[in-house]
Chains A and B, each alone.
Chain A
């Protein structure tokens, strides 16, 4: 480490931040194109929000471990209350609602719940005596913690976010060392329950999305339109793409949601396979860094927290990319750091902030152990 660079700067996890900022900048370029060659209305706010949330993440690194452990359940509780509030307002106002307008900000509590559930479960397994890991005490309270928000989100109804919550929660449980047998049983149970849930639990529009995913050409102008047009955008990009600002699929409005859910297709059309591999590669770097942070932590709470955050980002990325490439149904999950949208950026930066926080805990631990 060169002494020319001041310590506070050198201390930052540049192996993650550098790819992340690259990705954000790339995302801004794509959004610039998606707006028809203009910083407004997407690219500028994308950059501003990132800067804002990066500051937030930097502040989070200053939190101490005890402080976070102490706040874990209260934070979870507050977010759960917000979810209930959304439901209540929706029920009173008539019709479902996902947002809570607090005047100065439009908040989507289900987004906040993604890091919050990871935090709460990490805290739970941190306090659970290791000997009880195989007993019901290890699963029932955690199940309640997990399914309370999942049910509330399902009521909205928001299948994509519910799955994201379950995925994040399940990964934390898995990494907490619960018997593998349970996960096998759980997976089998899900395999049986899924068809039942599909036919009795899902809304018609959700069912249609699944059908369309299985056979997009069956309804090329209806709900299969999204998948078909997205594949056309990616496929027509070829190896090097059509060039910056030259994407016809996005510019002529064939691609739905070119700035949010299908931003990857917008990018791939103009930057081709090369651009796509760069994006995937950057996610590999970021998530790999996150996993390393989790593994380097000797503290159970911190490692579960970090790994859960990685899983949450990972779920976003994988589902979104599979969706735009026609491997998953259209579920309405944006691509982290590229899609335009405040809630998504907030969630993902909370995850990044948590990872940076654990990273700084790791460093101070190492520093202490050196000095000791």
Chain B
């Protein structure tokens, strides 16, 4: 067909006609070829690949959306909900489906009237979220708002309005630490778990406390909804729906009303209340205040709120029941007494207290500078005489006390469903050598007998100690009701010894003891207890009662009631409360509430008038004030929610590890706020032989100051 130059000369009409015929034929052949090609291609797509494309077409058309399962309820011992679900309307966004995230959020904010702090939070979360991770914009919407978003859906790609359930904690801050809270799963949590329900908009998993511990049991089975959707995501019609199956409930041992009462009764203090059932070890109450509101945490923690909680020196983010470690102070004395009894000491054996005890060339002081006179075991407990314990501890040694402390629960971890618990310290010679490579000194024993020095315990451990001493049964604290739990083993105490301790501790409250004002105002119910005041800094820094909050003494109180047939036992610890006087009125009211709720509530209502409302109300108003003052300059919420608590835990652990500034010297006990204490203004001279103390020991120098202070003590 290729014509050279020669051929050009001979081109004529007929040749062109010939070429035209041939070339149109070729063109026709090519066209036919294309027709076959297209028919073949189409057959291939429509027949050979039909299954694949049918599937893709279906997956286009049908949108299978998971219905997040309703979480199982968390119940108290009487099946009242501590955590339940509330129907609500909510709006989430899925970043990868959004065209213009910033603009959409702004429009949503306008429609929903969100406040600027919330909008800023949502935007920063959106910037950090992985693409598939839903970000909550708002929940708890009313129907009108929900409808306003729903009708504009075609303009809002990636916005998911839902009717669903949100977690609701009826008593709010009272159960914050205990129950934890829920939140959208983080990328790490999704990778770990792999369950696609985790990235369903509106689905939340437990982030702390029981919510986290029982995540699998509470989770339930998601439902599914098959809908026909357009390319822009508008739902055309429902095809099929499978209902979700609600998660199983978790029934705790907690007494809901008591938990709430104790939290409210703590009032403005920073502290914790633990109450145990003396027959089973059930934890009836584990209140730690101040706290956070798990309801607002579950909506996504706002940066303003986080900042407020973070800056509070009372550490609302720490569960003080489990992670607060305090020198137990004189609350260890019943335990030490039990150690003495088991070691063979006659409870009638006496010692003379003249306000101090000389050991070697040192003098260890009793809190009562004037001395207690002749002291037997019962008086040692109810008057909290330090000299009695110094004396017999020197005779019987730390090897008697430390094992008893451990038997009673100090330094122990309990098998509880909690994220973490600190176990504190029960010092003994071997421990001190291992830890500090220093010899055990006589003053170490002296410190230990009055719960100072290296000794550290959590409020939970103190409550367990109280319960075990009160009953002679090896009660294990438990949080979840389980009928199969074995009944508690015996501590193998002699019944006489138990009775001795019961009576002595009863006298603390009902007799001539240090906590007469702790008497329960109910006829026939007598509470037994033991006060404790734990110093945090030496006398040279603070008198322990006034001045800088951080330097004030911790107030402690362990108790059980009724004293001769214990039903309930517990512990109250008030951080920097200025002494045990801050603790035992709370124990008294909590126990009153147990036996006569109305009486207990009346007392509380009166107090709350002075405090400015319930714990929830105060938290709300505090937030409002803080948010108004803080404005923009707030610390952002940690990207990983696990860090929220990890930070305060880390600080608490570090603080517990630091050797106490008071541990390497004998402690000079502060006066117990006993009723008769006001009269206990001892002249320095009555103290037996003011010995030349080591230079670092400031005790004698402080004596006048301490002595000059009685009037300031609680009368």
Contacts and interface: CB of A to CB of B under 8 A. Distances in A.
Q: How large is the interface on B (under 10, 10 to 19, 20 to 34, 35 or more residues)?
A: 35 or more
**Among B42, B50, B60, which residue has the most Cβ atoms of chain A within 10 A?**
B42
Contact of B47 (A238, A249, A311, A318): A238
Given A231-B45, A272-B46, A322 B38 contact: yes
A235 B53 contact: yes
Contact of A253 (B2, B15, B230): B230
B57 A233 contact: yes
A179 B3 contact: yes
A307 B41 contact: no
A327 B8 CA distance: 39
A331 B61 CA distance: 27
Interface stretch (B21-29, B250-258, B676-684): B21-29
A88 B380 CA distance: 109
B49 interface: yes
Interface string B77-114: 00000000000000000000000000000000000000
Interface stretch (A23-31, A39-47, A141-149, A169-177): A169-177
Given A134-B8, A249-B60, A252-B61, A294 B24 contact: yes
A288 B28 contact: yes
A307 B17 CA distance: 13
Interface residues of A, number: 57
Interface string A312-341: 001000100110011100000000000000
**Among B53, B58, B228, which residue has the most Cβ atoms of chain A within 10 A?**
B53
**Among B15, B43, B57, which residue has the most Cβ atoms of chain A within 10 A?**
B57
B3 A253 contact: no
The dominant DSSP class at the A interface is helix
Contacts of A239: 46-47, 50
A311 B31 CA distance: 9
A304 B23 CA distance: 11
A283 interface: yes
B27 A237 contact: no
B57 A248 contact: yes
Contacts of A268: 42, 46
Interface stretch (A90-98, A108-116, A273-281): A273-281
B28 A291 contact: yes
A120 interface: no
B617 interface: no
B56 interface: yes
Interface in B39-84: 39, 41-43, 45-47, 49-50, 52-54, 56-58, 60-61
A222 interface: no
B595 interface: no
A267 to B, nearest CB: 11
A205 to B, nearest CB: 18
A368 interface: no
**Among B2, B15, B20, B39, which residue has the most Cβ atoms of chain A within 10 A?**
B20
A130 B2 contact: no
Contacts of A133: 8, 11, 16
A321 B38 contact: yes
A234 B13 contact: no
A272 B32 CA distance: 21
A181 B13 contact: no
A8 interface: no
Contacts of B39: 276-277, 280
B7 interface: yes
Contacts of B49: 235
A300 interface: yes
Contact of A181 (B3, B21, B28, B230): B3
Nearest to A297: B20
A276 B46 contact: yes
Contacts of B236: 252
A325 B45 contact: yes
B35 A311 contact: no
Interface in A287-319: 287-288, 291, 294-295, 298, 300, 303-304, 307, 310-311, 314, 318
Given A236-B53, A287-B31, A318 B38 contact: yes
A232 interface: yes
A179 B35 CA distance: 27
Given A307-B24, A325-B41, A238 B15 contact: no
A131 interface: yes
A280 B27 contact: no
A235 B54 contact: yes
Nearest to B48: A235
Interface of B: 1-3, 5, 7-9, 11-13, 15-17, 19-21, 23-24, 27-28, 31-32, 34-35, 38-39, 41-43, 45-47, 49-50, 52-54, 56-58, 60-61, 228-232, 236
20 contacts: A134-B3, A177-B23, A184-B2, A232-B56, A234-B46, A235-B50, A235-B52, A236-B58, A239-B47, A248-B57, A252-B228, A253-B231, A254-B230, A276-B42, A277-B39, A277-B42, A280-B39, A287-B31, A295-B24, A298-B17
9 tightest A-B CB contacts, nearest first: A235-B53, A134-B8, A236-B57, A177-B19, A248-B61, A253-B231, A177-B16, A273-B46, A252-B230
Given A184-B2, A248-B61, A249-B57, 4 more contacts: A254-B60, A284-B32, A288-B31, A291-B24
